[in-house]
Amino acid sequence: MMIDKKQDIIEKVSVLYHEFGIRSVTMDDVVHEIGISKKTLYQHFSDKSELVAAVMDSLFKQRKEKTEQALEGKQNAIEEMLTYYSLQLRMIKEHKPTVIYDLKKYYPEIYEKVTIRKRKYIYDSVLQNLKRGKTEGLYRAEINEELIARLNLMRIEAIMTTGIFTSEDIMTPGFFKEVFTYHVYGIVNTKGRNYLEQNIDKLK
């Protein structure tokens, strides 16, 4: 019961952070908005930092679970990558820059942990996909899997954090299709290219 209550608080606070940003939502706001006592809130979270960390942990787990469910049973590595990019695009469209800005500025240690965990998950996912694609005879046999996975991670971070691309750029129809094809056309062989060209319209 205590675990259910704690998770309920986390989910409701996540909505508040998404709507108003992390900095502007105080512990008193949490008490008022979700209708619990201060005693109950502090039974589960000693301070705001602990609450922020719990919310970020929950968001990561939810997105990871959603991604893994979406990828389950995909026909091959290209189909898997098409699905992955489509899902990431939907998540980015739901993304609120204010949350990351507040996290980075006011909770740098939590931001660093979130970033490291996200990097590892993206790297591991792409690496697994590259290995699968080579095994299935869709990706070029000579590609360096570890290097390509790191380059892909670098490209994603550059898109999201360097300011080279505006939010409007990222939301432009076709933006992630270009990012996806830039990545995949560099790794597929003839068989993979043929499959990709027959299925690229699945990426919306």
Q: Where are the domains of the chain?
A: 56-202
**Tens of pLDDT, residues 122-167:** 999 999 999 999 999 999 999 999 999 999 899 888 877 777 877 7
Burial annotation 42-77 (CB, 10 A radius, 16+ → b, else e): eebbeebeebbbbbbebbeeeeeeebeeebeebebb
- Return the minimum-mean-pLDDT range out of 37-41, 55-59, 155-159: 155-159
Q: What pLDDT is attached to residue 1?
A: 52
Q: What is the pLDDT of residues 98-117, one digit of tens each?
A: 898 999 999 999 999 999 99
| Residue 11 in this model has a pLDDT that exceeds 90 | yes
Q: How confident is the model at residue 200 (pLDDT cuts 50, 70, 90)?
A: confident
CATH no. of 56-202: 1.10.357.10
pTM of the model: 0.87
pLDDT of 204 > 60? The answer is: no
What mean pLDDT comes out for the span 154-183?
80
Q: What's the pLDDT at 165?
A: 79
Residue written as tokens 């990545």? Answer: 183
Distances from the Cα of 161 to the Cαs of 97, 103, 164, 174, in angstroms? 10, 14, 8, 20
Q: Return d(Cα 100, Cα 119) in angstroms, integer.
A: 15
